[in-house]
Chain A
Amino acid sequence: MTAVAEGRVNEVGQARRRREDAHLITGQTLWTDNVTLPGMLHLAILRSPVAHATITKVDVSAARERPGVVAAFSGADLAGDWGPLPMAWTVSEDQKSPPHFPLTADKVRFVGDGVAVVAATSREGAVDALDAIDFEFETLPAVVDMEAAVGEGSALVYDDVPANRCFTWRESHGDYAAAKDRAEVVLNRRFINQRLIPSAMEPRSVVVQPSPATGEYTMWSSTQVPHFVQIFISLTAGVPQSSLRVIAPDVGGGFGSKLDVYAEEAIGVVLAKKLGVPVKWTETRSENYQVTIHGRDLIQDAEIAAMRDGTVLGLKVDLTANMGGYLQLLTTCIPLLGRYMYPGIYKFEAHDLSCTGVFTNTTPTDAYRGAGRPEATYVIERIMDELAYELSMDPLGLRRKNWIQRDEFPYTTVCGLEYDSGDYEKATARATELLGYDELRREQQARRDRNDHVQIGIGVSTYTEMCGLAPSRWLGQKGYIAGGWEAATVRVLPLGKVEVVTGTSPHGQGHETTFAQIAADALGVSFDDIVVVHGDTRTAPLGLDTYGSRSLAVGGIAILKACEKIVEKARVLAAHQLECDPSDLEFSAGTFAVRGSPDAAKTIQELAFASFVAHDLPDGANPILTADAVLDPETFSFPHGTHLAHVEVDTETGGVDLKKYVAVDDVGKVVNPLVVEGQVHGGVAQGIAQALFEEAVYDAEGNLVTGTMVDYLVPSAADLPSFTTDRTETPSTTNPLGVKGVGEAGTIASTPAVVNAVVDALRPRGVNDVQMPCTPMHVWQAMEAAKGEPR
């Protein structure tokens, strides 16, 4: 990093207003669905109305006769035009990975499974023509309940996958049986992480423009991962990678749901290829709820072993994870991404985890904000509260007894991850201060004493997470087919502007602003002189995109490295022009000056021009101030924090009122506090949504009952309070910026904090769990179930 020269304030740390905003607040946007091309056809997809059936007939001939219809194809018609969609992670030797084609030809495996596609001159014409397709099928028993699915006599989603078991794995760290033998207290709990629908506000959309003369294709897609899409769709659709350009234009949120490679992207390329004209497909929201991936959906049977003084000895967890009807890109790995997070911030000697992945006739699951880590955190943070209650300890007191102390870093957890830094004491002290923890406990006791029908609950979550996915070698060892590096190119243009090209692909996170701040400091130039280029495989050809809170901790560091290379290259040129030795130059605020004679100086932007004209370069030097860097992280980063929730539960109605929410996060060094705060707000809201509002529900036949925004409760402004947020700053030691990652932290932390609060409110009534979402019905059911329990 450059030193701060007089008159230049470091950009990193400034609450810069986002440069992304200007076009978004004025409607000058390029969402994929805004792309309109001459001759463009609109696609509509016929989807299965039943969860499980054998296809007996798909006849599209009548649809082809409809006005404006140019083509119609069944899955069987296109079977020779594509290969299966990608499945990128093999988590066990026994994993069954049945092929998943963009349109199915033999069986349908969930409501919404695509069976035919129509291309027409208008969207209305394409949708209307779906009615004319003769689609016949023989309904099969639907496999919906994941526990029944692995039981005797269940129907099979795949005939060659016995008991619907996609995979099983088990991993043991330490000797859990021995720990349990020694334990004075053993608690068992079943936690159910319900199925969620990511609900990014922009539905997915794909436009593909072919160039029949050259065999090239340009795709616009509402995706988090244009580079993944380029590689995998080129394989699926049989197009050379170099002939497929993928653009992620303005992308309206993702939360993991656009971290995937979808059927419609392959259908778009194949139809553009066959028809020789541009095609567009945009999903409706109802279609989004049926066919874009869902999240969570895990049953977690947990057992914790501890001593009476609160010392935790070990944790054992059995997971059953619902895959849905097909394996999408990362479906199988979600429990695996969580498996190292079950110990949380605590020191204990043994951890045993087993997992079964199960096929059902439901929408495929995949990564959703946090991807495995929220589920793991939910278990450890919920069961720590259960243990605290069992031992009559304050939940923070129990945590304090077990967490890694600030002087114990770096600390290698029972799962083998080395946490580089953290200060759980400090974050917790700040959070309790902001909540008024002790005072609220007194008020809670008063309400309990007078048996008030509105009870107070205080929920705690002292979370950590692993961010910055991920060291490529680690990914390879765990069965992933790709790496976790990130690429950057930095160019100082001859007239002084700087282009920063990143392989990450933002969709709301503010990279254009924060990455410019990093580069501005590294090069000592003005923030306004920097342009961040992203989201297009032609202009940013190398990259692994945006997910897993990786963009800053991996992509940002790659940018920093490229800037450092620029500075070194410029230094050689400056020394040549100033006729000194490079080591005699000081670089500060974008200027190389000869030590001791500050008038002899060149700015990096002057040097860029000199490098461009190349009239007077040192021997052997290449023109142009440009540099590439690829960064493969050596390890993860570990943000942490203490979140506290204060709820009131009306024991007569079951209503939960979230009165106050305190989040104190430690995300390491902060590049832009405004952006970080925004990420925390949104993440916390999304985690609260799981705790209190959202659940994807299927009926026994596999129909998605919550198939629209009417039935699936995405919280509105009126459903949420303002949050009290603050930060502690313990820099990461694993990267030169000291950053950790913030995209998923709020979501990971807030779900257990809120549920712990609801349960805490109901302790006097013998309640020890409330099924999420904690709706009045679920609260009432928990109170009913606890009646007669001694408490």
Chain B
Amino acid sequence: MPRISVTVDGVRHEDDVEPRVLLVHYLRDRIGKVGTVVGCDTSNCGACTIHLDGVSVKSCSVLAVQADGAEITTIEGLAGTDGGLHPMQQAFHECHALQCGFCTPGMIMAAVDLLSNNPDPSEQEIREGLEGNLCRCTGYQNIVRAVQLAAKSSAGATESREEVPA
């Protein structure tokens, strides 16, 4: 069985894995990262979205062995180490961008990646950027609002950081 070494939410793991094991199943079943969920079996729903070396991926579309050596962030590791929420998490709460919350981990991880690529997206760019993540509860409107709010607060945070003398 191949051995992999991955860092997940800041903790290094070394495990033997069957070659066929999907990354999402490794995360959930082997190391207990059950905040990341499985919503489909065809890579359509995006509920399992995580960050692999800083880029969002559907963790059902990656084999665990492919993640060898990678740095992974899940929804559980997104908040700051001080326990504060990530601006995207805060914005989802503020804008009522979730109801049942099952799509939320993937939606938030995808939205964070969206803003890192496009810090000031239009509504249409947000809608198209999140096309790979399905939500059945919200009709997406408040998710769009949340991403807009996070973009605004991230921009504000960047500006205020810049104001601080080095």
Contacts and interface: CB of A to CB of B under 8 A. Distances in A.
Contacts of A681: 138-142
B55 interface: no
Given A202-B100, A709-B44, 10 more contacts: A27-B74, A33-B37, A201-B100, A202-B37, A202-B102, A677-B142, A678-B96, A709-B42, A718-B131, A720-B139
Interface string B87-130: 00100111010111111110010000000000000010011101
Nearest to A284: B41
B99 A509 contact: yes
Given A22-B93, A251-B100, A716-B133, A201 B127 contact: no
B34 A718 contact: no
Identify which of B18, B76, B101, B123 gathers the most chain A CB atoms within 10 Å of its CB: B101
Closest 6 CB pairs of A and B: A27-B35, A252-B102, A24-B101, A508-B100, A685-B139, A681-B139
Contacts of A678: 96, 99, 137-138, 142
Given A201-B39, A709-B42, A718-B131, A17 B141 contact: no
Nearest to B9: A27
A255 interface: yes
Nearest to B83: A26
A190 interface: no
A76 interface: no
Interface string A690-712: 00000000000000000011100
Contact of A285 (B45, B127, B140): B45
Contacts, number: 174
B140 A28 contact: no
A251 B103 CA distance: 12
A201 B98 CA distance: 12
Identify which of B76, B85, B136, B144 gathers the most chain A CB atoms within 10 Å of its CB: B136
Nearest to A687: B139
Nearest to A201: B102
Interface string B131-151: 111111111111110000000
Interface in A470-523: 507-510
B100 A716 contact: no
Contact of A682 (B35, B99, B102): B99
B75 A26 contact: yes
9 contacts: A18-B96, A34-B28, A201-B39, A201-B45, A253-B137, A681-B140, A714-B44, A716-B130, A717-B131
Interface string B27-57: 0110001111111111011010000000000
B62 interface: no
A252 B107 CA distance: 14
A718 B75 CA distance: 23
Interface of B: 18, 28-29, 33-42, 44-45, 47, 74-76, 78-79, 85, 89, 92-94, 96, 98-105, 108, 123, 126-128, 130-144
Interface size class, chain A:
35 or more
Contacts of A677: 96, 142
Contacts of A252: 37, 39, 100-102
B96 A253 contact: no
A21 B101 contact: yes
A201 B103 contact: yes
Contact of B96 (A17, A33, A250): A17
A34 B35 CA distance: 8
Nearest to B90: A25
Interface in A666-687: 674-675, 677-679, 681-686
A17 B136 CA distance: 20
Nearest to B101: A24
A392 interface: no
Contacts of B134: 201, 709, 714, 716
Contacts of A710: 42, 44
A29 interface: yes
Contact of B45 (A25, A124, A674, A709): A709
A286 interface: yes
A123 B18 CA distance: 13
Contacts of A684: 139
Contact of B99 (A33, A203, A510, A716): A510
B35 A28 contact: yes
A201 B135 contact: yes
Nearest to A15: B96
Nearest to B147: A717
A199 interface: yes
A544 to B, nearest CB: 20
Contact of B37 (A31, A284, A682, A683): A31
Identify which of A33, A255, A678 gathers the most chain B CB atoms within 10 Å of its CB: A678
Contacts of B131: 716-718
Contact of B139 (A22, A28, A723): A723
Contacts of B130: 716-718
Interface in A203-257: 203, 250-253, 255
Contacts of A709: 40, 42, 44-45, 134
Nearest to B100: A508
A18 B93 contact: yes
B76 A28 contact: yes
B12 to A, nearest CB: 20
A29 B75 CA distance: 11
A509 B96 CA distance: 11
Interface in A1-53: 17-18, 20-22, 24-29, 31, 33-34
A786 interface: no
A674 B96 contact: yes
Contacts of B74: 27
Contacts of A682: 99, 136-139
Contact of B34 (A24, A31, A123, A124): A31
A714 B103 CA distance: 13
A262 B164 CA distance: 60
Contact of A24 (B38, B104, B133, B142): B104
Nearest to A27: B35
B105 A27 contact: yes
B92 A25 contact: yes
Contacts of B94: 17
